[in-house]
Structure formats: C-alpha cells, structure tokens
Structure 1
Amino acid sequence: MTSTDQQPFLSVKDLKVHFSTEDGTVKAVDGLSFDLTRGKTLGIVGESGSGKSVTNLTILGLHHPDHTTVEGSITLDGQELNGAPERTLEKLRGNKMAMIFQDALASLSPYHTIGTQIGEVYRKHTGASKREARARAIEMLKRVGIPQPDSRVDEYPHQFSGGMRQRAMIAMALVCDPELLIADEPTTALDVTVQAQIMDLLKDLQQEFGTSIVFITHDLGVIADIADEVLVMYGGRCVERGTKQEVLRAPQHPYTWGLLSSMPSLEGPVDVPLNPIPGSPPSLLNPPSGCRFHPRCAFAGSVDGDRCATERPLLQIVNGRGSACHLTDSQRTEFLADLAASKVH
C-alpha cells in the first residue's frame, strides 16, 4: 500500500487479538496486516463486529492485558508498540498518536469543562502551566471552528451541540500535534451537514499538520470522500485492500460487492431496489471455517468443491492491491459485469 521509496509510518503485521470470556475465546482480529504512509488516510470499512475498532484500540494499547492476547507486530515510525511498557505507550498516546472516539458525549467527562479536559492533555505531555494550557485550549477550539472560543472554553459538554462536541474531541486529539490520528466513526451520529463540515475539517487539519489518519467507518460514502486507501474487514480479517478508486470502482471481493450493492446509485433509475447482504455477521466465538463470509456469499457455489467452507482464502497483495477470495479472475469479471448491469437496469 506504500511506494517502494517511502517507508510506512504505521505498519501492522499479522495482528491477532483474542479476548478470553466465560463463553470462550473471541477471535476479534485474526491475522491482519496493513501499512499507512505518513500524511495519508487509510479507511477501514466493514459491518459492526468486523474488528475495526478493536484493531485501532490495540494500536493505542487500550485493551486490558489480563483478558486480551495480542500477537503480531505494530510499529509506529519504526517503534514496536506490541509488548511495549505501559509508560512508553502513555507517552505516545495523545502526543504522537491520538484517537477521536465515536460517541463524544460518552467520551467527555460531564464534571469538567471542555477547556479543562483539552488543557489536561496538553499539560500532561508538555509540562505547560494551567494558564498556558487554557490558552492552548482556546487556540485549538478556534482552529476547529468553535464560535466564541474564549467563553465556550469554560462550558461543559452538555452545553455543546453534537457537532460542537465532536469538534471539541478533535481539538483534544490534536492539541499535541500527533502524527497519527485514529478516527473511530466520528460522524456516525451527526446529520449530513455537520458530517460534511467535520470531514472538511479533518482534511484541512491533515494538510496543515501532515497527520496520518486511520478512519474507521461503515459508510462507503464517507470513505469515498476522505480515504486514500481502503481496507475492507469481515469477521476479524481483511478481505480486500487497495486504493479508494480500485476498491470502490472495481471491487474484487463478494463482500465488497454486497456493501456497494446495498447503497443507492445516483446514476441508475430511482426505482431499482437495493440488495442487502443476507444473514448476519459471524460470531467470533465460533467463526465459520474456510472463508468467514461463505455462509452469506451468493457466489460460494461457483467455486469448485467445498473450498469456501474448508479452505481459508489467502490475501494475495500485488502492488498494494488484493482480495481474499477463491473466485478466479474470469469469474470476478463476469460477476462484476452482471452487478453493474443490475445497477443500471
């Protein structure tokens, strides 16, 4: 996913994240690998329970070690994070890497003002005084478009609208100018107008700071707007990778076809019915054998034998492009043509 002359800023190799529960072991992430170039945006897309958020919480080291087993390698700017001491991760969190959480109201403390919470992050990592931290909080609120930041810095989260709380979360995440920003569905609960404003804000801040962004979402429309590269996850695994143009215009995996087919088209007739993916995502306590998508896949019967049910398809990456599927290239071409025709007619 990166050019040969540019080393990845974030590199995840064969990541496995398992949780121990009373019912058994949850294989939340199972052999995930990807790279992110400095200053670029990677969009991670998939249904709820696919392992998107777990992956990025693991990068930040936010899982309880007593109940979580993490295998594989996570390197940030050449520094290994998996197995690093908690003190090392604490210095990196908020300073070199930060996260925007999905629910700003639940993530912000109701007992402290917005300015206090933003300033606390800045003081922890820079040793600044309370006065300096307050000035920095006002500066960041102004930068993310909060009106009257001099007075609103002393207000509480419940006094902010949903869009303003999300902007405050972005200000908190960026207060120490992190080089990696992880955004976990930051626009899901917002109306489309505010969503567009937040997206524009993230793109502007990325240009200003040169930040690398991992953007987690289930919305392919958002991915089309912000991502440079796309990673599609299903059942804790990556099923497809490529540039935004490659994945959205020429998808190679039946799951990605299903995601795109379930979205309305602006080019075809308005009365064309949407095609939702049948069934539900798999339980990661007891995931399906072989390809984890095969119980819901309309094309599993096109593969010779029972390979889809018994043999895990390998993710073959060539020049950053690949998909994990047993279908042949000719079958993909044929099925894609049929899908494109159904969208138009």
Structure 2
Amino acid sequence: MTTLTKPDDGATPPPAPGDGAFLSVRDLYVRFSTEDGIVKAVDGLSFDLERGRTLGIVGESGSGKSVTNLTVLGLHDPRTTTVSGEILLDGQELTGAPERTLERLRGNTMAMIFQDPLTALSPYYTVGRQIAEPYRKHTGASKSEARSRAIEMLQKVGIPNPRLRVDDYPHQFSGGMRQRAMIAMSLVCDPDLLIADEPTTALDVTVQAQILDLLKDLQQEFGSAIILITHDLGVVANTADDLLVMYAGRAVERGTVREVLRAPQHPYTWGLLGSMPRLTSAVDEPLSPIPGSPPSLLSPPPGCPFHPRCRYTDQVAGDRCATERPSLPDGRGAACHLSAERKQTLFTEQIKPRLG
C-alpha cells in the first residue's frame, strides 16, 4: 500500500499505543483515488484491542468499518489506495509491510470472515479444498490431514453431512451454508486475530447463536482477539467487550459495551439506539430514524461530520459544530462539542425515556 503524508487538519494527536494491546491502530488514514476525486474513507482512526477481548464496531454503511479492517489485512489495491498511520499486530508494523509478510500472517495469525461469501468463495474449487488450502499452507499438513480438518470445521459450523458436503462447490450450498463455510475457512488455523464482518447476516437465529458460541469458544481456548463488525446492536451487546462507534471514517464514541449502551454520550449513538425496535413498543409505533443521510466521503463536512444531521447543534455556543473538529478523548468518551453536563441532561430527560 502506498504511504500518505498525514493531513494537517488540527485534529488531536493520537494517544500512545495501549500497554499490552495485541492490535494497536494509530492515526490511520485511508484514501481511495477515483474518477470523481479522493475518497476519505478512514480519517484519523485510533483504537486498541487486547488478546482475549472482542471489539464491536458499529455504524451506518459507508462509515469506514470494513475499510479499516481490510487495511489491517493489507487487502486494498495499492494502485488506488494510499494509507498512513500505524498498525501494530503483536508489535509488528503492518503499514507498508512487504506482501510476503502479509501473506504469511493472513489466514494464520490474522483472518477475516468476509461479509459476502458468494464473492469470497471461488466457484471453481470445492468448498473443502478452499478450507483445506490455507491449513496446508500454514501448517504443512498433508492432503488427507487437511481434508480431515476441513470436515471437522464444516461440522463445527453446523453443515449437515460434512463428509459428503466437503466435495460440493459453493453453488451447491445455500446462502447461509456458504456463510458458514466462509467462517470455517477463517477459523481453520485458529487465528490470533479474527475480523468478523457481519458474520451472522445470512443465518437464522439458531445458527447465529451457534456461530457466536463458536467464536467465544475459539477465544476462550486460544485467547484470540476478535473484531466484530455489525449493524446488530443486540449481537454486540451479547458478544463484545468494547465498542467503537464510527461515522464518516472517524470514531465518534468508544468505551466498554456496558458503558456505551447504558449511557451513550454522542448524538449519533443516541440515534442508532433510538432507531432500534423494542419489545415493549406498540406494534404500530413508528421507528425513530436518524434524519438525513451520511455525508459523501469525497467532500465530508467541516467540523463535526455529524453536525448536518444533529438535533443539538443549537445547544453548542457559536458555530463550533460546523467549523471545529471535536476530539475523541482517551478511553471512555465521545467526540462531541456538547458539555458533559449537557449530554447527561439530554440523555436523562429526552433520550433515555425513548429507549425504554
């Protein structure tokens, strides 16, 4: 990936890498060159992830969640992508690392469950071969050993008759089965870092629970670090330890799952929680969507990127929301110009009653 000089936008300098962090991302910028201009896909993102913990990343489509994690794996086209910042995996710098180094790490030390298994699986090879290939490459196993491992993984993710289905092609699997096969391929080498991009989207609730339990078992057995990208806040609440809320390529709020879901501090997080259906709501009660649309990353708005959609800009003195980029404090916090006291009042009086 091509390196990029850090933009001078007056943003707060990133915090130093956390002690004991297995994955440390610092001041990450990702830019895509297109015919229409430069897409600012990730804009100064920093976070840490320790072994044995799960980080949930949430946000609307286009907020930079998947781009961030594809960058960690080094999967962007270097001809059209420029990257700057620091990505440390167990102390090893990945930004600008040779492709040979990334190939050695991908599928072994770090792996990703891709969002769309239909395009992630090759139609030319059997499912079993695609699961067995990374296992043979990284462990030196024989063909028979790799085939046995593939059958074992298909069984773990709930594929019926795995000894027969191991020789099927992706088009012979249903959408949910392809998703499970993709998960099996990602887990086959017991990676230290697993990035799960909407891993349960195409699955029914029973299989979804099985897959989430499988990820927990992997984490408990090997101490793996997991990044869970999802739109389902219910999955995050029951699976993740920490939560990062992204908007327009930036982190706008972070903290433990308990802290963020029980006492969110950013108006965007309030909007995400408020747009969820609740069991206690009346059947005909309308949802409360966030007004407007996410900004174009070709020309994101100045200041706080959420301010064109925010209901509370009139409660900040002057035009700070439109002109000054708010900083995200270390640890628990939100990138918002509202004072801590005002956030607390708004949440208690207006937001919390709506959330139930």
The TM-score bracket by the shorter chain reads over 0.9
Give the CA deviation at 1:20.
Answer: 1.0
Query: Is residue 330 of structure 1 aligned with residue 341 of structure 2?
Result: yes
Q: What are the superposed Cα offsets for residues 88-128 of structure 1, whole Å, 9 maximum, x if unpaired?
A: 00000001000000111221112211111111111222232
- Residue 300 to residue 173, structure 1, CA distance change in 2 (3 Å): same
- With structure 2 as the length reference, what TM-score do the two structures score? 0.91
CA contact (8 A) 2:237 2:257 kept: yes
Give the CA deviation at 1:149.
Answer: 1.8
How do residues 112-151 of structure 1 correspond to structure 2 at under 5 angstroms?
A: 112-151=125-164
Instruction: State the secondary structure of the residue aligned to 2:295.
Output: coil
Residue 339 of structure 1 corresponds to: 351
Residue 8 of structure 2 corresponds to: none
Instruction: State the secondary structure of the residue aligned to 2:115.
Output: coil
Q: What are the superposed Cα offsets for residues 274-331 of structure 1, whole Å, 9 maximum, x if unpaired?
A: 21001110000000000000000001111000000000000012xx201100000111
- Residue 269 to residue 294, structure 1, CA distance change in 2 (3 Å): same
Residue 238 of structure 2 corresponds to: 225
Q: What are the superposed Cα offsets for residues 6-55 of structure 1, whole Å, 9 maximum, x if unpaired?
A: 60110000000011111111100000000001011000000000000000
Task: Tell me which amino acid in the other structure corresponds to 2:306.
Answer: F
Question: Paired residue for 1:245, among 252, 258, 268?
Answer: 258
Query: Is residue 41 of structure 1 aligned with residue 54 of structure 2?
Result: yes
- Structure 2 unmatched runs, 5+: 1-16
CA contact (8 A) 1:268 1:343 kept: no
Instruction: Write the distance in 2 (CA, Å) between the matches of 1:161 and 1:224.
Output: 28
CA contact (8 A) 2:273 2:355 kept: no
Give the CA deviation at 1:195.
Answer: 2.4
Tell which deviates more after alignment, 143-152 or 53-62. 143-152
CA contact (8 A) 1:98 1:181 kept: yes
Instruction: Write the distance in 2 (CA, Å) between the matches of 1:145 and 1:205.
Output: 15
- Residue 343 to residue 175, structure 1, CA distance change in 2 (3 Å): closer
Give the CA deviation at 1:272.
Answer: 4.3
CA contact (8 A) 2:268 2:306 kept: yes
Give the CA deviation at 1:270.
Answer: 5.0
Residue 226 of structure 2 corresponds to: 213
CA contact (8 A) 2:190 2:218 kept: no
- Residue 209 to residue 168, structure 1, CA distance change in 2 (3 Å): farther
Instruction: State the secondary structure of the residue aligned to 1:9.
Output: strand
Length, aligned pairs only? 339
Instruction: Write the distance in 2 (CA, Å) between the matches of 1:64 and 1:100.
Output: 19
Tell which deviates more after alignment, 86-95 or 120-129. 120-129
How do residues 48-67 of structure 1 correspond to structure 2 at under 5 angstroms?
A: 48-67=61-80
Instruction: State the secondary structure of the residue aligned to 2:84.
Output: strand
Residue 89 of structure 2 corresponds to: 76
CA contact (8 A) 1:272 1:343 kept: no
Instruction: Write the distance in 1 (CA, Å) between the matches of 2:124 and 2:321.
Output: 52
- Residue 310 to residue 59, structure 1, CA distance change in 2 (3 Å): same
Instruction: State the secondary structure of the residue aligned to 2:104.
Output: helix
Question: Paired residue for 2:249, among 228, 233, 236?
Answer: 236
Instruction: Write the distance in 2 (CA, Å) between the matches of 1:204 and 1:173.
Output: 14
Query: Is residue 291 of structure 1 aligned with residue 307 of structure 2?
Result: no
CA contact (8 A) 2:111 2:193 kept: yes
Residue 316 of structure 1 corresponds to: 329
Residue 95 of structure 1 corresponds to: 108
CA contact (8 A) 1:8 1:77 kept: yes
Residue 30 of structure 1 corresponds to: 43
Give the CA deviation at 1:148.
Answer: 2.2
Give the CA deviation at 1:269.
Answer: 5.0
CA contact (8 A) 2:158 2:207 kept: no
- With structure 1 as the length reference, what TM-score do the two structures score? 0.94
Instruction: State the secondary structure of the residue aligned to 2:146.
Output: helix
- Residue 6 to residue 149, structure 1, CA distance change in 2 (3 Å): farther
